[in-house]
């Protein structure tokens, strides 16, 4: 059977509807890591009130959004580049810097390698150790910097949810000057991390001109269909990336939504509280009741390994027939056929997932 993630990502409702014979809006989606609270009401209202803006071209310089973003981050605007999601920002970095060799730490977000190869770079990978949350050892990372022109790391990493420490990130940033290598830190899920644990090199970029930070606004604010993200880097790097950006790649409604999202401080805090509580609630169930391994990630998802009599694809099929989607991680280099990822959602939805997991396990037991 063809994998459900034939396009390399979760959240593919069209493929799921075709496979399981259900309407596209009939699924409870645990395969995509989106804020379960949904978009802030203020954002929905703003979009409804400004639909007429679809008749005008968006601002190609993103001036209003960049100004609001700079104010929120306390960052000069020339250090910021809005993009059509973090994925476009990654593509622009590769186009602008034209690395011949790109380093990744497996398992990781598939776009790092896919985009790099798409733009003609050779991908060199090292593998994180399972007992270390799939982080690479310092010696492995150092070698990766010595072998490549650009290194991608995710913090928190996808699909493991593991966060790099301040010391680890500063060490890697220091290596960029020593090895003449670029470091791209993907912080797409950093918004979900407890503020006491979250660390970014954002305030140190003046000391590390070869470091680029990638951020997504689609996950925290539940607007993946609008596509919005941004890069933070030295103005010279931002200018090089901007020179490769297609005009109007960020649409007017996405820019408008972004401005309103930046004002949602209380919403963000509520989200982090919910995610922390529900992540532990799900992890405890998976470990204590099912006996499965769930890594202690810091983001809004969990990487899980089933018992030996299950594969992720079998579990995905069983849940899919019940209207629940999960993300098989069997195709991630460094993981196993038993690994899958689930988003963290609200309590009522999580209990629905837990009931479905109990049912598929009982059904499987009866068939044996």
The model carries a pTM of 0.95
CATH 3.40.640.10 intervals, the chain: 41-263
CATH 3.90.1150.10 intervals, the chain: 13-32+266-367
What three-state secondary structure class fits 2? coil
15-49 pLDDT tens trace: 777 887 888 788 899 999 999 999 999 999 999 99
CA 144 centroid distance within chain: 22
**pLDDT surpassing 90 at residue 1:** no
Q: What is the pLDDT of residue 151?
A: 98
**pLDDT surpassing 60 at residue 368:** no
**Mean pLDDT value of segment 270-283:** 98
* High-pLDDT (> 70) share of the chain, %: 96
* High-pLDDT (> 90) share of the chain, %: 88
CB within 8 A of 181, min separation 6: which ones? 103, 145, 146, 148, 149, 150, 151, 175, 210
Q: What is the pLDDT of residue 25?
A: 81
Q: 259-287: string of b/e by CB count within 10 Å (b at 16+)?
A: bbbbebeebbeebbebbbebbeebbebbe
Look at the alpha carbons of 10, 12, 15, 18 in this order and tell me if their dihedral is positive or negative.
Answer: positive
Concatenating the DSSP letter of every residue in 5-54 gives: TTTSSS--HHHHHHHHT--GGG-EE-SS---TT-S-HHHHHHHHHTGGGG
**Residue 331's closest CA among 130, 155, 108?**
108
**Residue 215's closest CA among 6, 69, 67, 43?**
69
| pLDDT band (50, 70, 90) for residue 2 | low
| CATH class, 41-263 region | alpha beta
| CATH class, 13-32+266-367 region | alpha beta
For 155, phi then psi, to 5°, come to -145, 100
Q: Is 82 left (phi over 0), alpha (psi -120 to 50) or beta?
A: beta
Q: Rounded CA gap, 243 and 97, in Å?
A: 11
202-248 pLDDT tens trace: 999 999 999 999 999 999 999 999 999 999 999 999 999 999 999 99
């Amino acid at each position: 059977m063809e994998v459900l993630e034939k396009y390399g990502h979760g959240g593919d409702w069209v493929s799921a509807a075709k496979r399981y014979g259900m309407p596209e809006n009939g699924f409870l989606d645990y395969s995509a890591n989106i804020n379960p609270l949904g978009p802030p009401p203020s954002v929905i209202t703003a979009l409804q009130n400004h639909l007429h803006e679809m008749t005008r071209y968006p601002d190609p310089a993103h001036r209003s959004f960049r100004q609001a973003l700079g104010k929120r981050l306390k960052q000069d605007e020339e250090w910021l580049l809005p993009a059509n999601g973090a994925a476009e920002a990654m593509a622009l970095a590769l186009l602008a810097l034209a690395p011949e060799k790109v380093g990744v730490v497996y398992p990781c977000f598939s776009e790092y390698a896919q985009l790099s190869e798409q733009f003609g770079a050779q991908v060199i990978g090292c593998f994180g150790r399972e007992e270390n949350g799939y982080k690479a050892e310092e010696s492995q990372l150092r070698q990766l910097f010595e072998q490549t022109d650009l290194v991608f790391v995710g913090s928190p990493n996808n699909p493991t949810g593991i966060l790099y420490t301040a010391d680890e990130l500063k060490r890697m940033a220091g290596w960029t000057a020593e090895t003449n290598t670029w470091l791209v830190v993907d912080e797409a899920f950093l918004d979900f991390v407890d503020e006491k644990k979250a660390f970014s090199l954002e305030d140190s970029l003046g000391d590390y001109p070869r470091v680029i930070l990638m951020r997504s606004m689609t996950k925290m604010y539940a607007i993946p269909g609008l596509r919005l993200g941004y890069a933070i880097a030295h103005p010279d790097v931002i200018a090089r990336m901007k020179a490769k950006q297609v005009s109007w790649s960020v649409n007017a409604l996405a820019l408008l939504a972004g401005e309103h999202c930046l004002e949602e401080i209380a919403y963000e805090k509520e989200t982090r509280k919910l995610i922390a509580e529900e992540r532990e609630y799900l992890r405890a169930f998976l470990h204590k009741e099912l006996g499965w391994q769930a890594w202690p990630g810091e983001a809004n998802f969990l990487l899980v390994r089933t018992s030996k009599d299950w594969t992720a694809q079998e579990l995905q099929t069983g849940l899919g027939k019940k209207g629940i989607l999960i993300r098989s991680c069997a195709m991630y280099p460094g993981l196993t056929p038993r690994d899958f990822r689930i988003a963290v959602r609200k309590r009522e939805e999580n209990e629905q997932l837990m009931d479905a997991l109990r049912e598929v396990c009982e059904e499987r037991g009866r068939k044996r």
